[in-house]
Every structure is written in structure tokens, then in C-alpha cells.
């Protein structure tokens, strides 16, 4: 089993590598087109800002490679958001693998017109452990509804046809997406204790 982690200008790529090592799965971190195409599984992680990440991917033509992968691909956090159609984070056209759009929690907070006393009850970015529910696909095999996962994000993917997991913060949104061979999770399985390890294991063994 060859697992390739996409190397690009985003943070926390090492954390994914170490998490895979902890569950006994070796992986390589690479931006080599052939190594990515040849791998059995590809993980597209990342913490960072959408427009600079997309610019980096386009400049290196990694965007095309990512869009044409045939094997199972798992996007994590920013990786998942970049696989969506569009992000409100600096008005960024993304890869368009998923049809969903990525929106701003700050905008949502304004729209919700929460009262003054509540205004800072919802901190942005959302940082911490929240539940995932309405779980679909084998990515969540043996994962209980309302399991806790670790989230750190200021933008969120709206609910849509590709939604395979839902989380609620200000409003329900997609914490998991799936279309064809592509999967994405908004939370960090590499930091989500044993639940996260099980999800990574599912991606490697069951997808």
C-alpha cells in the first residue's frame, strides 16, 4: 500500500504523516506528479489560507493532477475546502471537485444577528471538539453518531448533495464530503484521538 501525502505550501502536513505512522501506515510526502498518480491512496491535508494555497497549486499545475486522480483521495481541513467549488476566503476559485461552496463563519455570525449578549458566544475560528452526525460511507464505518472530532477553522462548507457528515456551529454545515473517489473532512482526524485514528484506518483499509 502506497500512501502519498500532497506536499504544498500549507501547514500541518507532518502531523498527518506522524498520525499515519502511529497507526502503522507508512506514507510519503511528495509533489511529484507521477508519485501522486501512482499511489494507492492520496491524502491532501493542510492548514492555511485558501487563495495562496490555490495559487501555489496552479503555478505548479498540481491543481490539474489533483482533479484527475483516480484512486481514493482524502482532503483534510483546508484540503477539503480547496476541493470545493469556491471559497469566500479571499474570493477563491477552488478545484471544483465537490459542488459545495465554502463560506465565512464571520458572515454567518452577522447574518444570524445574534444579540449583544450572545455575540461572542460563537468564537471564530471554531477551535475545539465538536460532534459529527448523519454519517455516511465506509469512511465512518464503526464510528458512532455524535462522536467528537477536533476542528480548527474560520470557513465552512455548506450542506449539499456531497455531504456525508454534519456538524453544527452557528448552523449545520458539511464536516464530511464525498463524490466519486474523493472524500473530505473538515476536522483533523490526525488530531482527533482514537476516533480520528479509526477514520484514517477506514480510509486506508475500507475505501
Partner 1 sequence: MLTKRIIPCLDIKDGRTVKGTNFVDLRDAGDPVELGRLYASQGADELVFLDITATVEKRKTLSELVNRISHQINIPFTVGGGISSVEDVKILLQNGADKISINTAAFKRPALLSELEKEFGSQCVVLAIDARMEEDGEWYVYLNGGRTKTDRTCTDWAEEAVSLGAGEILLTSMNHDGTKQGFALDITRALSTRLPVPVIASGGGGRMEHFLDVFQQANADAALAASIFHFKEVAIPDLKNYLFQEGIPVRIG
The residues that touch partner 1, with contacts defined as CB under 8 A, are: 11-12, 14-15, 18-19, 21-22, 47-49, 120-121, 123-131, 148, 150-154, 168-169, 188, 190-194, 196-197
The nearest distance, CB 34 to partner 1, in angstroms, is 25
Q: Which is nearer to partner 1, 69 or 84 (CB)?
A: 84
The nearest distance, CB 14 to partner 1, in angstroms, is 5
Q: Which is nearer to partner 1, 159 or 170 (CB)?
A: 170
Q: Which is nearer to partner 1, 126 or 163 (CB)?
A: 126
The nearest distance, CB 167 to partner 1, in angstroms, is 9
Catalytic residue among 84, 100, 149, 188: 188
Q: What is the 3-state secondary structure (H, E, C) of the chain?
A: CCEEEECCCCECHHHHHHHHHHCCCCCEEECCHHHHHHCCEEEECCECCHHHHHHHHHHCCHHHHHHCCCCCEEEECHHHHHCCCEECCCCEECCCCCCCEEEEHHHHHHHCCCCHHHCCCCCCCEEEEEEEECCCCHHHCCCCCCEEEEEEECEEECCCCCEEEEEEECEEEEEEEEECCEEEECCCHHHCHHHHHHHHHHHHHHC
Terminal CA-to-CA distance of the chain, rounded, Å?
Answer: 13
Q: Which is nearer to partner 1, 65 or 149 (CB)?
A: 149
Measured between alpha carbons, how far is 30 from 94 in angstroms, rounded to an integer? 21
Catalytic residue among 145, 190, 197, 205: 190
Residue 178 falls in the annotated catalytic set: no
**CB neighbours of residue 84 within 10 Å:** 28
Catalytic residue among 34, 77, 112, 178: 77
The nearest distance, CB 71 to partner 1, in angstroms, is 26
Residue 153 falls in the annotated catalytic set: no
Q: Which is nearer to partner 1, 33 or 129 (CB)?
A: 129
Residue 77 falls in the annotated catalytic set: yes
Question: So which residues are the catalytic ones?
Answer: 77, 188, 190
Amino acid at each position: 500500500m502506497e500512501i502519498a501525502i500532497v506536499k504544498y505550501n500549507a501547514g500541518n502536513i507532518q502531523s498527518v504523516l506522524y498520525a499515519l505512522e502511529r497507526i502503522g501506515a507508512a506514507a510519503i510526502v511528495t509533489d511529484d506528479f507521477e508519485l501522486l498518480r501512482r499511489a494507492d491512496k492520496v491524502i491532501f491535508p493542510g492548514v492555511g489560507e485558501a487563495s495562496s494555497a490555490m495559487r501555489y497549486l496552479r503555478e505548479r499545475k498540481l491543481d490539474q493532477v489533483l482533479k484527475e486522480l483516480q484512486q481514493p483521495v482524502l482532503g483534510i481541513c483546508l484540503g477539503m475546502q480547496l476541493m470545493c467549488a469556491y471559497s469566500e476566503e479571499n474570493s477563491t476559485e477552488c478545484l471544483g471537485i465537490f459542488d459545495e461552496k465554502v463560506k465565512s463563519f464571520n458572515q454567518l455570525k452577522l447574518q444570524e444577528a445574534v444579540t449583544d449578549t450572545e455575540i461572542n458566544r460563537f468564537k471564530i475560528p471554531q477551535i475545539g471538539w465538536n460532534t459529527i452526525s448523519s454519517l455516511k460511507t465506509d469512511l465512518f464505518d464503526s464510528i458512532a453518531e455524535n462522536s467528537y472530532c477536533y476542528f480548527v477553522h474560520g470557513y465552512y462548507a455548506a450542506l449539499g448533495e456531497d455531504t456525508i457528515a454534519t456538524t453544527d456551529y452557528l448552523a449545520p454545515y458539511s464536516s464530511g464530503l464525498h463524490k466519486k473517489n474523493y472524500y473530505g473532512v473538515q476536522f483533523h482526524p490526525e488530531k482527533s484521538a482514537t476516533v480520528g485514528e479509526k477514520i484514517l484506518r477506514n480510509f486506508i483499509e475500507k475505501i
